[in-house]
Amino acid sequence: MSNIISIGSRREVDQDWKDEGLCAETSPDLFFPGKGEPTTPAKKICVACDVKERCLAWALETGEEYGVWGGTSENERRRMRKELGYVDEPEELAA
């Protein structure tokens, strides 16, 4: 059996945790820094967040490409997805 994980559309993934995140009380700009800007300020908020694990799981499962999610940057999640064997479905199959 393969260890490759295939992801469905974002509509199918639970997002109820989002309102509970500390990021909901903070400016979104902090979690979507511009190119070359630090992610450290957002990550410091994530450290104390009760839904950090669910946030990261959502970002990995949906292939979220932008921003800080679950205390991780875009590059960190990209590496994690590769290490975990995630495979993105073509857009037309996910709908």
Closest CA to 18 of 67, 46, 73, 55: 55
Is residue 77, in this structure, part of any structural domain at all? yes
The burial class, CB within 10 Å (0-12 / 13-18 / 19+), for 76 is middle
Domain limits at 60?
A: 14-89
Is residue 63, in this structure, part of any structural domain at all? yes
Tally of domains within the chain: 1
Is residue 3, in this structure, part of any structural domain at all? no
| pTM for this entry | 0.75
Closest CA to 7 of 81, 71, 67: 81
Q: Can you tell me the distance from the alpha carbon of 13 to that of 46, in angstroms, rounded to the nearest whole number?
A: 21
| Per-residue pLDDT of the chain in tens (95 residues, 90 and over written 9) | 333 344 444 445 567 888 899 999 999 999 999 989 999 999 999 999 999 999 999 999 889 999 999 999 999 999 999 998 887 654 444 44
Is residue 94, in this structure, part of any structural domain at all? no
